[in-house]
């Protein structure tokens, strides 16, 4: 990866980048921005109609870019897809494990199928992708993985137990980052703040309120931050700093924190 002069956006010419969840939202923006900056991008998701539109735009930037239908929750098939991308392109320089699902999982509903589905996609998908590319990256002493977590991991919201727990698991995969840091491979955990994508807006559409301005970010802002930071020495990529205070607030004022959360639970 080549860094241009400070004022110019970083380029990814000649790199092969895989982005999951490329059919919409943050993943789509990241895929398009990576291609615009010279990377050959392979975008993965399930909605083929949306992927076809993304592919056309990707190819206008880098003609070897493509998209493929892939359910990352089917870990064997996701790993097969990554293997075939490595065969087709020779290697994967960058993997962005961005795909995820979010669904309300009220405790009173018991152990619904949603828990397993959310963990299959949000956790096992990320684990499968990370571990599939790791041997080749470590052998080459080069590579970048960005695993997308959420501030829900730091401040779990009532009613969102499965999603918050899945994103906490992704955050804890930081263990892999430390394991391979000395071997030329960068594994980052991204906390995108709140972004008005389909997923971001679902909480608002369900009657929730917009989060404070301090944690609102656009898809373009999150993408620009990731493309600037990935491959650098900071393991965490935080789109907003306010949520970093949540665990501190919880430990120094536990009663107030719990009262606020009880209020949100209604
Ligand atoms: N928006 C926010 O405020 C926010 C905040 C914190 C973290 N995040 C995280 O940011 C990431 C991107 O979310 P977003 O906001 O951009 O939401 P989004 O617009 O709903 O995008 C989610 C993407 O994941 C893909 N996906 C879902 N299940 C999949 C599966 N089984 N296999 C493959 N792809 C799958 C979807 O594509 P298909 O349906 O076509 O498969 C879609 O492209 C997620 O990890 C999310 O948890 C978002």
Domain annotation covers residue 190:
yes
Please choose, from the candidates 97, 85, 102, 154, the residue with its C-alpha nearest in 3D space to the C-alpha of residue 126.
97
Cβ–ligand 1 distance for 243 under 6 Å, the answer no
Tokens encoding 80: 């097969």
What are the pLDDT digits (tens) for 140-149?
999 999 999 9
Q: Residue 216 has what DSSP assignment?
A: B
**CATH code for position 208:** 3.40.50.720
Mutation test residue for ligand 1: of 53, 197, 198, 244, the one with most atoms within 8 Å of CB: 197
Cβ–ligand 1 distance for 203 under 6 Å, the answer no
The atom of ligand 1 lying closest to the CA of 28 is 43
Give the pLDDT of residue 195. Answer: 98
Res. 8 pLDDT band, cuts 50 70 90: confident
Element (H, E) at 114: helix 113-119
What are the pLDDT digits (tens) for 175-190?
999 999 999 999 999 9
**Spatial contact of 162 and 114, defined as CB atoms under 8 Å apart:** yes
Q: Percentage of the chain with pLDDT > 90?
A: 88
Q: Is the pLDDT of residue 37 over 80?
A: yes
Domain annotation covers residue 259:
no
Q: Is the pLDDT of residue 197 over 90?
A: yes
Give the pLDDT of residue 263. Answer: 87
Domain annotation covers residue 261:
no
Domain annotation covers residue 247:
no
**Spatial contact of 31 and 43, defined as CB atoms under 8 Å apart:** yes
What are the pLDDT digits (tens) for 114-137?
999 999 999 999 999 999 999 999
Domain annotation covers residue 146:
yes
Contacting residues for 259 by C-beta, under 8 A, at least 6 apart:
none
Q: Give distance in angstroms: CA of 258 to centre of ligand 1.
A: 29
Domain annotation covers residue 4:
no
How many domains are contained in the chain? 1
| Mean confidence (pLDDT) of the chain | 95
Q: Give distance in angstroms: CA of 27 to centre of ligand 1.
A: 7
Q: Residue 189 has what DSSP assignment?
A: E
Average pLDDT of 14-39?
A: 98
Q: Give distance in angstroms: CA of 61 to centre of ligand 1.
A: 23
Give the pLDDT of residue 7. Answer: 59
Res. 174 pLDDT band, cuts 50 70 90: very high
Mutation test residue for ligand 1: of 20, 21, 149, the one with most atoms within 8 Å of CB: 21
Domain annotation covers residue 233:
yes
Cα–Cα distance measured from residue 125 to residue 73, given in angstroms and rounded to the nearest whole number: 5
Residue keyed to tokens 């301090």 = 214
Give the pLDDT of residue 204. Answer: 84
Containing domain of residue 74, as a range?
A: 16-241
Q: Is the pLDDT of residue 2 over 60?
A: no
Domain annotation covers residue 250:
no
Which region among 5-9, 38-42, 175-179 has the lowest average model confidence (pLDDT)? 5-9
Q: Is the pLDDT of residue 202 over 60?
A: yes
């Amino acid at each position: 990866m080549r860094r241009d002069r400070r004022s110019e956006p970083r380029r990814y010419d000649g790199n092969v980048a895989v982005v999951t969840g490329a059919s919409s939202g943050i993943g789509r923006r990241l895929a398009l921005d990576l291609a615009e900056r010279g990377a050959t991008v392979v975008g993965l998701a399930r909605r083929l109609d949306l992927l076809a539109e993304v592919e056309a735009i990707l190819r206008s930037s880098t003609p070897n870019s493509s998209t493929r239908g892939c359910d990352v929750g089917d870990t064997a098939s996701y790993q097969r897809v990554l293997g075939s991308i490595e065969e087709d392109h020779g290697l994967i320089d960058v993997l962005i494990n961005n795909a995820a699902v979010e669904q309300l999982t009220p405790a009173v509903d018991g152990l619904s199928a949603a828990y397993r589905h959310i963990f299959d996609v949000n956790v096992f998908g990320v684990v499968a992708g990370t571990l599939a590319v790791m041997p080749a990256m470590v052998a080459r002493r080069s590579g970048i993985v960005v695993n997308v977590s959420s501030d829900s991991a730091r401040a779990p919201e009532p009613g969102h137990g499965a999603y918050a727990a899945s994103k906490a698991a992704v955050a804890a995969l930081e263990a892999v980052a430390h394991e391979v840091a000395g071997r030329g491979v960068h594994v980052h955990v991204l906390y995108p703040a709140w972004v008005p994508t389909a997923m971001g807006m679902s909480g608002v559409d369900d009657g929730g309120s917009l989060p404070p301005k301090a944690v609102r970010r656009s898809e373009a802002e999150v993408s620009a931050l990731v493309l600037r930071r990935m491959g650098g020495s900071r393991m965490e990529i935080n789109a907003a700093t306010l949520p970093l205070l949540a665990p501190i607030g919880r430990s120094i004022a536990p009663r107030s924190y719990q009262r606020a959360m009880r209020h949100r639970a209604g």
